Amino acid sequence: MKLTRQRLRQLIIETLQETKRYIGSPGGGVVPADRAYQRAEEKDMYAGDVHPKIGTLMGTGVEGKKQGRHLAAAIAPPDSQYAQFGELTPEEETAIDHMGFERATEESFPETGVEQLVDKGALWGAMKSKSDGILSHFNFRYVDDIGFPPESDYEGGGDMFRFQARALGCEVKDLAFVDTEDPEANKTLMAIYDMMRERGATEIPIPGDIGNYGQNSLYDVDGLKVLLTGHWGGYYTATICG
């Protein structure tokens, strides 16, 4: 069954965002500076994931970042997220190394009351990479990072989390989710809904006993399992194996 707006019960709001600062490209075109900065930041995160020592270098200033990128390009496995996204373009390097966040994003934020768009391409890469740092960038939280008291069995939610882990095929400690409770996480959730529609997500059976853990729907999105849950009180989550 294909994912539809009715199935999600959510209205996806699409907005336009204007960018007033651009960077000239070698080919003679122009690239929005804020988008170039964002892509550079994401690629640098992927570079830091290649090796812990590279991750340390990426936090030591411009020269350290350049060295880290060079090392990542030399040793990154072909199937790594860094190798798939590629090295920084000249425009991206200009944005992150020479302009910085303030200049790259100057006058590029939406007007008051207009939602900031989530880069769905970068979000999809984060969900596929299953990197703690990159998922956190998109406001995913891990169940084990919430701080439940050890003796409380996740404050009584252990059975639900174990059900989710079985449905997705991982351990509870690997469950990563976004929800409607946090405004920034909710933006990511809305983007996931939209991305699933665009990619023709297909609902698949949930194995075993589904229990009484809210309204759950399991989807295959180009090989990635996503569990959508409607909890009591109008609280919604999207959960993956992180």
133-150 per-position pLDDT tens digit: 678 888 999 988 888 887
Chain mean position to CA 16: 21
Give the pLDDT score at 22. 66
Three-state secondary structure readout of 70-104? HHHHHHCCCCCHHHHHCCCCHHHHHHHHHHHHHHH
- Quote the domain boundaries for residue 225: 115-241
Spatial CB neighbours of 139, under 8 Å, sequence gap ≥ 6? 178, 182, 184, 185, 187, 188
CA distance 214 to 90: 48
Say if 183 falls within a structural domain: yes
On whether both 100 and 122 belong to a single domain, the answer is: no
130 in Cβ contact with 80 (< 8 Å) = no
Say if 40 falls within a structural domain: yes
Look up the pTM and report it: 0.55
On whether both 168 and 216 belong to a single domain, the answer is: yes
Spatial CB neighbours of 126, under 8 Å, sequence gap ≥ 6? 134, 135, 137, 138, 140
Chain mean position to CA 135: 5
By DSSP bridging, strand 22-24 and strand 235-241 are unpaired
Domain count, the chain: 2
Say if 128 falls within a structural domain: yes
User: How do residues 10-33 score in pLDDT, each as one tens digit?
Assistant: 433 332 233 346 666 565 555 677
CA distance 227 to 242: 12
12: tokens are 């996806």
Higher pLDDT: 149 or 225? It is 225
Supply angle C-alpha 73, 78, 82, rounded to 5. 50
On whether both 121 and 43 belong to a single domain, the answer is: no
Say if 18 falls within a structural domain: no
Nearest Cα neighbor of 38 from 167, 134, 153 is: 134
202-204, strands of its sheet edge to edge? 141-142, 175-179, 235-241, 224-231, 215-221, 202-204
Distances (CA, A) of 154 to 148, 149, 234: 5, 7, 21
pLDDT for residue 51 is more than 80: yes
135 in Cβ contact with 126 (< 8 Å) = yes
Say if 9 falls within a structural domain: no
Mean pLDDT across the chain: 80
Give the pLDDT score at 149. 82
